[in-house]
Structure 1
């Protein structure tokens, strides 16, 4: 085996480990929440902890990778909703989708809110496109006079993230989301 072949084999092996860790991470986080032991993720992936930490140096790196599909969906939806005729309806639809997407993993919204607020976090980097497109959606509603002028997109995002969740479904407990939505109107 020459060095080029050995390099490709390692890359393929590393890619398999990466995918196994993502699959295991999704399963463990779905069962036990985002604070689940990372050792369990490595065990289920069939790799050692060293491999886990080479692929994902921190919990936030793993979480950002797991959430990439959801983040992409939320970003794409926000960009699509920018063309919706009613800016308020578009904003509310996106916020409800964000809230529903948080039901995948217990503790997800808190982790996203903390990560987005910390510019150095891998979660903030992963969420940057979604945050920007949501900001445009928010700004459009505010420019139309539909959102309080003293509120920022990040403040609203953080409020929605902090709403109390039903422990069994992971969704926001009624009527909290509706109360926040009514409270952000001018």
Structure 2
């Protein structure tokens, strides 16, 4: 890719990130183009669909969260790694309103531009969950799909103005239901992450 084309693409992604953070994943492509001070055709030349734009926008975050799971797996206890990673995923998903709905749909749709990234992210979480299950610190009757759904649920709750003030408490309650060891939290006071 030529340097000027890369600059233009990076500019579009920066602007799209700001617009999507403000308006959510249903932000108009026309609004993104207008805010970037380009024509809609220019935006569509770089990103032919909203999903392609979102995949490019979210790709780095997916990669970072997957790498973070690997890092936590090496550096933390099984329960701490799982709780910390889930909390970080929930925090990230609240950055872009509506992203959890998109991710839940993409994971079931192999033709989605987001499918591969979502499957990779789910697999990273499933590995952390399985590690905690083997260590006896996570309930054994759940799988990576359940964990992915819980992250989506917690992110949705945190995105609702009426529920946002309770998001940390809800996380701790759900964490207590997933993690079975009473001393598994990073703060030493239970399975939730504070």
Give TM-score, length-normalised by structure 1. 0.82
Q: Paired residue for 1:157?
A: 148
Q: Of 105, 112, 115, which residue of structure 2 is paired with 1:121?
A: 112
Shift of 1:140: 0.7
Q: 1:180 aligns with which of 174, 179, 183?
A: 174
Please state how far the C-alpha of 1:56 moved relative to its aligned partner.
Answer: 1.6
Alignment of 1:47-126 (within 5 A): 47-126=38-117
Q: Distance in 1 between matches of 2:139 and 2:21?
A: 36
Shift of 1:166: 4.0
Contact 2:79 2:179 survives alignment (8 Å): no
Deviates more, 1:18-27 or 1:114-123: 114-123
Q: Deviations over 1:29-81 (max 9, x none)?
A: 11111111111111122222222223222222111211122222211110011
RMSD of the TM alignment (CA)?
A: 2.5
> 1:33 touches 1:106 (CA, 8 Å); kept in 2?
yes
2:20 and 2:27 in contact (8 A); partners too? yes
2-structure distance, mates of 1:160, 1:70: 15
* TM-fit CA distance, 1:105: 1.6
Q: Give 1:30's aligned residue.
A: 21
CA contact (8 A) 2:125 2:147 kept: no
Verify the 8 A CA contact 1:32 1:106 in the aligned structure 2.
yes
> Is the CA contact 1:17–1:45 (under 8 Å) kept in the aligned structure 2?
no
In the superposition, relative to structure 1, how do residues 170 and 27 fare at CA in structure 2: closer, same or farther (>3 Å)? farther
Shift of 1:85: 4.5
What SS does structure 1 have at the residue aligned with 2:74?
coil
Counterpart CA distance in 2 for 1:121 and 1:84 is: 33
Count of residue correspondences? 177
Q: Is the 8 A contact 1:102 1:108 kept in 2?
A: yes
Look up the SS of the partner of 1:165 in the other structure: helix
Does the CA contact (< 8 Å) of 2:93 and 2:100 recur in 1? yes
1:181 CA drift (Å): 1.5
Q: Which runs of 5+ in 1 are unaligned?
A: 1-7
